[in-house]
A = this chain, B = another copy of it.
Amino acid sequence: MPKTAPSDKTSKSPEYLAPVADYFKMLSEISRLQILSCLREGAMNVSEIGEATGLGQANLSKHLKMLTEAEILSRQPEGVAVYYKIDDPMIFELCELVCDRLYERMQQKAEKFKRLSAFGSSTK
C-alpha cells in the first residue's frame, strides 16, 4: 500500500483540515487574543472586557460571539450583564508554546547578530 493513495481521504484532505484551520483562525486575530488574555484571570462581563481591551462595543460583541460559538468561551447572563469565561483552557497552552518559540527565535537572532557584528563586544 502506497503512503498516499491518489484520492486519499485521510488527514491530508481539506475536509479534515478545515476544523483545525478554523480553530487556529480564532487565535489569529489580535483583538481576540486580547480578549482571551483578559479572561485568563477569570470571568468578566462585556463592559469590563471592553474597558480592559479598548475594543468597541459592537466589535467586541461579535468577537465574543465567535469565540463562544467556537466553544472557546462560555456565556452566562447575570441580570442585565453577560459574563464570559474561558471554556477551553487549551488555548493558553497553545499560546505559550508559540510565545516560547518566538522568544527562542529572537534569542537565537540576537546571538547570531552578536557573533557576526564587527563592532560587538564579543570581538574585544
Contacts and interface: CB of A to CB of B under 8 A. Distances in A.
A4 interface: yes
Interface string A16-59: 01111111110111100110011001000000000010000000
Contacts of A34: 12, 14, 17
Contact of A28 (B25, B33, B94): B25
Interface residues of A, number: 36
Contacts of A17: 30, 33-34, 37
B28 A12 contact: no
A25 B27 CA distance: 8
Contacts of A118: none
A38 B97 CA distance: 23
